[in-house]
Amino acid sequence: MADSTFTFRVEEDLKSAFSEAAKAEDQTGAQLIRRFMRDYVERQQEQADHDAWFRRQVQAGLQSANAGLLIPGDEVEAKFAERRAETLRKLKG
C-alpha cells in the first residue's frame, strides 16, 4: 500500500505537548496519529456493522409481527417470572 501525506494545522503549543507526550511513550507523533486513525476507522466500521445488524433485527421483528407471529404478553410474563424464580433459587442455594 502506498503512503500519502496528511497535512493539517495545529497550534504550536499543542504540537509541542503532543510531541513530548509521544516521546515519553517512545513513539513518534506520526505513529500515534496513525494508530488513532486506524482505531477511529475500526470503531466507525463496528458502529456501522452494529447499526446494520440492528436494522435487520428490527425488520425481522416487524415482518414477524405483521405475519401474526406474536407471543401473548401473559406467556412472556410467565416465562420470565419462571426465569427470575430460578435465578433467585440459584443465588440462595
Could you report the per-residue pLDDT of 29-52, keeping only the tens digit for each?
999 999 999 999 999 999 999 999
Q: What does the alpha-carbon distance between residue 69 and residue 71 come to, in Å, rounded to a whole number? A: 7
Nearest to 8 by CA among 26, 31, 33: 33
Q: What does the alpha-carbon distance between residue 34 and residue 1 come to, in Å, rounded to a whole number? A: 14
**Grid coordinates of 81:** 417470572
Q: What does the alpha-carbon distance between residue 88 and residue 6 come to, in Å, rounded to a whole number? A: 58
CA 83-88-90 angle, 5° bins: 95
- Looking up cell 493539517 gives 8
Mean pLDDT of the chain: 96
Sign, CA torsion 66/67/72/76 = negative
SS3 at position 5? coil
pLDDT exceeding 70 applies to what percent of the chain? Answer: 100
